[in-house]
Structure 1
Amino acid sequence: MTNKHALLVILLSAIAYYLFAYTTARTDFNKVFTYYSILFIAFVLLYKYSKLSTKWLIVSGILLRLIFLFAIPNLSDDFYRFIWDGRAIANGINPYLILPQNNPNLISNGIELYKGMGSMNGSHFTCYPPLNQFAFTIPAIISENGILISTIMMRLTLIISDIIALYFGLKILEHLNIEKRKILLYFINPFIIIELTGNLHYEGMMIAFLSASIYYLLKNKNHLSAILWAFAVSIKLIPLLFIPLFYKKLGLKKLLIYGTLVLIVNAILFLPFIDKELIQNFSSSIELYFQNFEFNASIYYIVREIGFWIKGYNIIGIVGKITPFIIISIAALISLIRKNNKIDILFTSMLFLIVCYYILASVVHPWYIAIPLFLSVFTKYKFPVIWSFTIIFSYSAYVNHNYKENLWLVFLEYLIVIIFFIIEIIQTTSPSETKHNKLPL
């Protein structure tokens, strides 16, 4: 593909992103799927066939993100809760102690925000860790009125987060002697641009801290790495899952110090919100997540059907209590049997662990796939790139306001990913995980 053709593809992508951001509702799945497919094809063409330099494709990725700047997120309503929590803090209210449904008039635009987030979101206590809450507060400090200004501020914050993840991602690739172009599998992927920049999900900020932490871990700056890892955990709790995998790289003593630092930093970050009801409310929201919610699951749906057949009712409460122990066991097993002292193997272990977690989970929202996609950049596996496309099938659940998943499309989503994963496993002929497949996709 010539540079002229590549620029044309970027221009067409810009038009598609604009139409996606400003003219598409999530209830119109045909439009969502069509625009997303066009954008994904353009992404593949640019990554695989374009002769444009990595630098220019990175610049195009930043410019494409800016198209969303004035758009209200159209695929997720979580941002309403983000704004609510941030404005609560700005007004001196502890967001861990109030329910939006009981306090719609406490903050500016409170009723509008509660209607936007929906009764399900507004009827439970916030589950977002403290550093995430501080990030929500930034837009409220700038302006406590209106929705658009808040979304613009959040979006700029998340674009900066993506650039930070890009910066450290490039440094990690250089350290591992992997071609830097691979970072584009993450940075110009329409999934990342739409879900993180477009829909304002803070996985992007978590990955920014995670990437910096991993880089300093590679440089044996363990204390700095642990502090940054704690920041990532204080955005989203999921990075806690990976800490046992550092056992062979750090050794038991250093691992205990590392984990203790992560816990201490998180405890300090919780101090501004400390209250006797904090632990109860926060843990109740986490428990509710594991034992009540269902969305875009795979193995869990099979287990659920078996439960209906045997028990005659939904066994999510039982499964939700067992699943964490299964994941902890898998994490312990991977940390003991794999040579995670080698960085390339460590990345693969992290990828396998997070995929195991999502395969067993009862809830797999689209934006969750950002983590395995980022990790895959540093491995020879590319099935998460495929997943970043098939995940769009999950939005078929929003075709009508009553919300009903199309389980055939969910099945197709996971079937395609599993097939590609099996193919990649079969094609892995070398016992060493230091050699990386040079195929772009």
Structure 2
Amino acid sequence: MALENQSRIAVTLKALVFTLLSAGGYIAISYFTNRVWFYQFIGLYAGLFVLYFAFVQWYLKLQEGLTIRHIQIIGVLLRLSVFFMIPNLSDDFFRFYWDGKLLFHGYNPYLILPKDFIGTPEAAKLDFTQELYQAMNSQTHYTIYPPFNQVLFATSPGLFPHNLLGGAIVMRVWILLGEIGLLWLLPKMLKAINQSPKGVVWYALNPYIVLELTANLHFEGVMIFMLLLALYWLIKGGYLLTGDNQANTHYLLPIRIKLFEITLPPSSAVKPKYLILSTIAFTLAVNTKLIPLIFLPPLLLFLGWKRSIIYYAIVIGLTAFLFSFFITPDFIAKFQDSFNLYFQKFEFNASVYYLLRWIGYQTHGYNLIAVFGIALSVISTLGALVIALYPIQKAQAKHLPLKMVFILTFYYLMATIVHPWYISVIMTLAILTPYRFPMIWSAMLGFTYYAYSTNPYQENLYLVAVEYLVVVGWLVWELRKAYRIKTAAKHSAR
């Protein structure tokens, strides 16, 4: 008994030391580090990840003394350590606040350019200050944040019309609620697909997640919660099979079969109300960030034609309804104008595109982003569809997040712009799979902050190359490992 008590005390002390050291690192980055101080940032960031990987490996091997509830509490406490600050690593918050202020005062945020609005009598009357305007990074672009996100933005200036810190805290409440939802939901989903619920530790304590979502106020935290809630309700409603078939867990695309030979639960075994709830959650995910739209095609393999068409129709219908409050004759043109900039002008932390850009300079002497951007967007869309619709024998719930991980990974490898927080979706979904390369990616994304240490902003392409070489190398290693497992399983079955 004495030895057992000593062991529990040792476990508690290790968890306490980890929590205090990590909180200290988050406070040092969030309150005392300017994003132009790259070497200070990367040193702290690397230290946080050393702690993280060491603690996760120790916890996953631990038999007792630290429960999932303890991990969830530590995760919330670490997020609270960055709660009372204006984001210092990202300036997106200021556009969120701007859009929210427009909407709160009855203006359509999709129709107003900040550069045209600032300095007008209306802007002065509503206290759109030069401080807010100068802090924004998109003064000449129309907003493209979807309606549900705009509503969340509006609560911030609605409660704190003259206080940016107060506004940041309001937004952080929404994101923290989404993250708490994920900390609650992930163990349930892991259990449902016959994996250890302890896997939630990968999300709960990840420094990249804490900094990019709660600290930097990126609403992926809300979007991912809604996305996983949609999947969870499909499982709960009996629409996704959860039988224990571990042999297929390690394969991305295990066995080729005819597309229409899909194993589906009978109508008597499903609960339609959960399909409706899932579509509502998925709609809110899409209307927080548009990227979940890319996950609609693979549902066909898991729901079948009839149920998929119903699902698509509800999601598209609800999305159209939410957008209908903002649609005017000018809306589509202005929204499309900003959307096209994403593929034809903006570039950051790209991989394949940067290689093509270099070739363009060698052959034509200038940047061919207008050509390569469109071409890569077509390739990424077609590639995502191939991965989405490539059939799986006995498709189960555990295969859907696996497809989602590789769809989005391929999409971002083809993208011209990959901001750090984009990878949070891949990293969270990967927890539901055997693959861990997104966790490595989350660590490597710290290199992207080098660009802010230069004036004007300039990426270090050597660091970008290191990032993608490590990530792709780790991915290839995991794919080869999965192939060996698949081959061994075939031999043992003979």
TM-score bracket relative to the smaller structure: over 0.9
Conserved 8 A contact 1:213-1:224? yes
- Give the structure 2 partner of residue 254 of structure 1: 307
Conserved 8 A contact 1:96-1:126? yes
- 1:321 to partner: Cα distance: 1.6
Match of 1:304 among 357, 367, 375: 357
Match of 1:392 among 434, 446, 458: 446
Match of 1:130 among 121, 138, 147: 147
- Give the structure 2 partner of residue 113 of structure 1: 132
- Give the structure 2 partner of residue 431 of structure 1: 486
- Give the structure 2 partner of residue 244 of structure 1: 297
Conserved 8 A contact 1:80-1:116? yes
Indicate whether 1:167 and 2:180 are aligned: no
Partners of 1:182 and 1:404 lie apart in 2 by 37
Cα deviation 1:15-45 (Å, max 9, x = unaligned)? 1111111000110010110111111111122
Match of 1:188 among 191, 199, 205: 205
Cα deviation 1:300-336 (Å, max 9, x = unaligned)? 1001111222222211111222223212222322233
- 1:210 to partner: Cα distance: 0.3
- Give the structure 2 partner of residue 437 of structure 1: none
**Helix, strand or coil at the partner of 2:458:** coil
Match of 2:409 among 344, 347, 355: 355
- Give the structure 2 partner of residue 66 of structure 1: 80
Indicate whether 1:264 and 2:332 are aligned: no
**Helix, strand or coil at the partner of 2:298:** helix
The change in CA–CA distance for 1:392 and 1:433 in structure 2 (over 3 A counts) is: farther
Indicate whether 1:34 and 2:43 are aligned: yes
Partners of 1:24 and 1:8 lie apart in 2 by 23
**Which residue identity lines up with residue 111 of structure 1 in the other structure?**
Q
**Which residue identity lines up with residue 395 of structure 1 in the other structure?**
Y
Match of 2:327 among 265, 270, 274: 274
The change in CA–CA distance for 1:38 and 1:292 in structure 2 (over 3 A counts) is: same
- Give the structure 1 partner of residue 388 of structure 2: 335
Partners of 2:171 and 2:26 lie apart in 1 by 19
The change in CA–CA distance for 1:432 and 1:173 in structure 2 (over 3 A counts) is: farther
**Which residue identity lines up with residue 282 of structure 1 in the other structure?**
F
Tell me the matched-pair count.
Answer: 432
Conserved 8 A contact 1:345-1:433? no
Conserved 8 A contact 1:244-1:332? yes
Indicate whether 1:79 and 2:96 are aligned: no
Indicate whether 1:13 and 2:22 are aligned: yes
**Which residue identity lines up with residue 418 of structure 2 in the other structure?**
V
- Give the structure 1 partner of residue 231 of structure 2: 214
Partners of 2:443 and 2:412 lie apart in 1 by 16
- 1:90 to partner: Cα distance: 0.8
- 1:71 to partner: Cα distance: 1.2
Partners of 1:432 and 1:242 lie apart in 2 by 29
Cα deviation 1:222-267 (Å, max 9, x = unaligned)? 2221221111011111111111111111112221221111111111
Conserved 8 A contact 2:75-2:204? yes
- 1:432 to partner: Cα distance: 9.5
Conserved 8 A contact 2:381-2:411? no
- 1:433 to partner: Cα distance: 13
**Which residue identity lines up with residue 343 of structure 1 in the other structure?**
A
Partners of 1:332 and 1:43 lie apart in 2 by 35
Cα deviation 1:83-125 (Å, max 9, x = unaligned)? 000011111111011111111242424321110013xx01110
Match of 1:228 among 281, 285, 291: 281
Partners of 1:66 and 1:391 lie apart in 2 by 23
- Give the structure 1 partner of residue 379 of structure 2: 326
**Helix, strand or coil at the partner of 2:136:** helix
**Helix, strand or coil at the partner of 1:49:** helix
- Give the TM-score taking structure 1 as reference length: 0.95
C-alpha RMSD over aligned residues? 1.7
Cα deviation 1:30-61 (Å, max 9, x = unaligned)? 01101111111111222121453221121011
Conserved 8 A contact 2:384-2:408? no
Conserved 8 A contact 1:339-1:346? no
- Give the TM-score taking structure 2 as reference length: 0.85
**Helix, strand or coil at the partner of 1:2:** helix
Identity, % of aligned pairs?
A: 38
Gaps of 5+ in 2: 1-9, 240-273, 490-494
Partners of 1:135 and 1:61 lie apart in 2 by 23
Cα deviation 1:99-155 (Å, max 9, x = unaligned)? 11111242424321110013xx01110010111100101112212112000001111
Partners of 1:149 and 1:433 lie apart in 2 by 57
Deviates more, 1:338-347 or 1:299-308: 338-347
- Give the structure 1 partner of residue 116 of structure 2: 102
Conserved 8 A contact 1:109-1:146? no
**Which residue identity lines up with residue 72 of structure 1 in the other structure?**
I
Deviates more, 1:26-35 or 1:254-263: 254-263
**Which residue identity lines up with residue 344 of structure 2 in the other structure?**
Q
**Which residue identity lines up with residue 254 of structure 1 in the other structure?**
R
